[in-house]
Amino acid sequence: MNILLVEDHLFQRDVIAGQLMQLISGDDTLVFAESGNTALEKILHETPDIIFCDLDLPDMDGIKLLSKAAEYGFTGCIVITSAASQKVLDTVKSMCEHMKLNVLGILPKPASIPLLKYYLTLAHEYDTDYPQDLLALSDDEVLEAWQSNLFETWYQPIVRFDTGEWVACEALQRMKHPVRGTLTPISFLPQLTSLNLEAELTFSVIDSVIANQTYLDGHPVGINVSVSNLIELDFVDELIEMGHQYPNLNQLIYFEIHEPDNFSQIAQLQEAASRLLLNGFRISIDGFGSGYSTLQQVEFLPLDSLKIGLNLILPMLSSRTALALVEASVLVANRIDVASVAEGIECIEVWHSLRDMGCNYGQGFFIAKPMPADKLQGWQELWDSLLESRTLCPPLALNTIVI
């Protein structure tokens, strides 16, 4: 992995460099830039995998440097390092996210080795798992893949914070591309939507859940569904009819609704949600805490759980704002007696923080990456062995709501 450290203060640079040298391997390279212009040259010609970027730089400040990096299409990872105020750091981080830069988080000064290790781990995972997704497929390619049955359903386990017990999964689609390998939805989901195949995809996922019950061992599976899909003509009717064919289907699956962009559809959404609830299906809001109409959804929809999005969970160690929003989301869930689920847990520090604040359930790479159904049993054996150490789940009295 190629690492670029952008820092003009000699002492700070030596401290962070020394800490990084303790964490990187012989295959990694660490290079330095003391100014914004020098850093931009290295970004353009040396293509670093991760940049640790200070904001207060000579000739071109770090904010403008990051803006230039976005302009030139930089696709690596970024960690903002600065002694600037938290408001400045949070605002710059938000700016980068809106510019589609992959910001892992903020590294306050003085830097800490655990946080550096956390960001390097995330960068390694990004490097190995996601580069194939950077270039989207065409509609024709996605349609051909759909017609060739190149899609499959993977599962990411969800566990209880108080006991570590495996309680559910989220279903996540993958495409087996003949050249680029396994692709995640960022490469194909927009195209499936534009091809009007979203509903067919949902029913394909349900078929997969039914077919994989031997591996799922009765654990319910959350299936993502958009508001436009849910209120589509006959969609709920087909789900109810499918429930008649499989009488326990409402125990095998539940639905995670993406937050609606246009809340003028609330009446149609309430109709669909109420009919699902009447037929025993459960509903969760996906990405709670980060959408425009979050609180209205909680008031008007019959929810069983709130899933706190990874865009809040990932930065919560380094952003006071993100941490406060996570805490508020858990509090809302507890007050209205629905389960709180946090996705995007990448390290033990985040696990302990969420557990201590009373979050009910967790999901993320720290627990398990998404996997084919036949890999779940092997993961559970490893996870159970970790639980035996009591490192993750010492005794804790939680009034945990069943998901």
Residue with tokens 């990872």: 77
Residue 400 has a pLDDT of 39
How far is CA 179 from its chain centroid? 26
**86-98 and 320-335 helices, crossing angle to 10°:** 80
CA distance linking residue 132 with residue 19, whole number of Å: 31
End-to-end CA distance of the chain: 40
Contact 201, 151 (CB under 8 A): yes
Contact 57, 85 (CB under 8 A): no
Q: Is the pTM of the predicted complex or chain greater than 0.85?
A: no
Contact 229, 262 (CB under 8 A): no
Dihedrals phi, psi of 175, to nearest 5 degrees = -115, 130
Quick one: 139 exposed, middle or buried, by C-beta within 10 A (0-12, 13-18, 19+)?
middle
Could you tell me which of 229, 157, 154 has the C-alpha nearest to residue 185?
154
CA distances (Å), origin 8, targets 37, 63, 291: 12, 14, 38
CATH class of 137-387: alpha beta
Residues sharing a CB contact under 8 Å with residue 112, sequence separation 6 or more, in sequence order: none
Residue 283 has a pLDDT of 93
- Where helices occur in 265-317 by DSSP H, the ranges are 266-278, 294-300, 310-313
Helix/strand/coil percentages in the chain, nearest 5:
45, 20, 35
Tell me the average confidence (pLDDT) per consecutive run of 10 residues in the chain, 403 residues long: 92 92 89 94 91 92 94 91 82 86 84 84 65 67 94 97 95 90 86 92 96 95 92 91 94 85 72 93 83 65 90 83 92 93 90 95 92 95 79 47 44
Domain boundaries, the chain: 2-129, 137-387
CATH number of 2-129: 3.40.50.2300
